[in-house]
Amino acid sequence: MGEVYSVPAEEVRRELVVLNSRFIAVLAPAFSVEQARSFLARVRNEFPDATHHVSAWLIGGGTAVIEHCSDDGEPPGTAGRPALAVLRGSDLGDVAVVVTRYFGGTKLGTGGLVRAYTEAVQQVVAAVPRACRLPVYEVMLALPYSFLEQVRRLAGMHQGEILSEDFGADVTMSLYFPVRSFADFQAALSEISAGKLQAEIIETTEKLVRI
């Protein structure tokens, strides 16, 4: 399922004012280049009268990453590259940031711009709650009513999440388990039922889990 790395759990924004220039930094999860581009377009639409919309993103994580940065009309190297440098040092993957600037009438100079864009991105990186994409199994399990409470308890002990319970002649449960803890749950299930109960893996997927 690839490398485990942190991703933004939600979108955050922070605002910074430097010599009357407003810098509005918005950071969001982006799991594809298309998502990152549509996020940039959404921010542009929200602030259509802004002077610049500087963007940077890392799609993927760990050792397999697609990188992008744009100065959007700022002097070359003063905006997009500093924003990307902060993302690279953040330990985040699947992340996009857009820094919208409203020019305040006073030029900041190249050094001032680098500092302002760096600080704006640092603020949103520091503020964003993190999650990781955890490989999980979705499993199905049919069991007699007499085992229901025990199985609920076992699932909780092994990081399982109950998705649904269908009450018919038996109880049919649908659950998520982190791949790494499923074998232990299966063994415990077999133990309490003398080998009669076994969960069936329906699919392997990924789930965002806050960390």
In degrees and rounded to multiples of 5, residue 190 shows phi and psi of -60, -40
Digit-by-digit pLDDT tens for the chain (211 residues) are 456 689 999 999 999 999 999 999 999 999 999 999 999 999 999 999 999 999 999 999 877 899 999 999 999 999 999 999 999 999 999 999 999 999 999 999 999 999 999 999 999 999 999 998 888 999 999 999 999 999 999 999 999 999 999 999 999 999 999 999 999 999 999 999 999 999 999 999 888 878 7
Task: Return the pLDDT at 2.
Answer: 52
Q: For the structural domain made of 132-210, what CATH number should be given? A: 3.30.70.240
For position 88, what pLDDT does the model report? 96
CATH number of 6-128: 3.30.230.30
- Tell me the HSE value of 111 on the side-chain side, using a 13 A CA sphere: 0
Sign for the pseudo-dihedral over CA of 123, 126, 128, 131 = positive
Distance CA 162, CA 114 (A): 48
With contact defined as beta carbons under 8 Å apart, do 99 and 54 qualify? yes
Q: For the chain, give every domain's residue range.
A: 6-128, 132-210
**How open is the CA angle 26-34-84, to the nearest 5 degrees?**
45
Does the pTM exceed 0.85?
no
pLDDT digits (tens, 9 = 90+) for 125-177: 999 999 988 889 999 999 999 999 999 999 999 999 999 999 999 999 999 99
What is the dihedral sign for C-alpha 105, 110, 115, 116? positive
Q: Are 145 and 171 in contact (CB under 8 A)?
A: yes
Percent of the chain with pLDDT over 90: 91
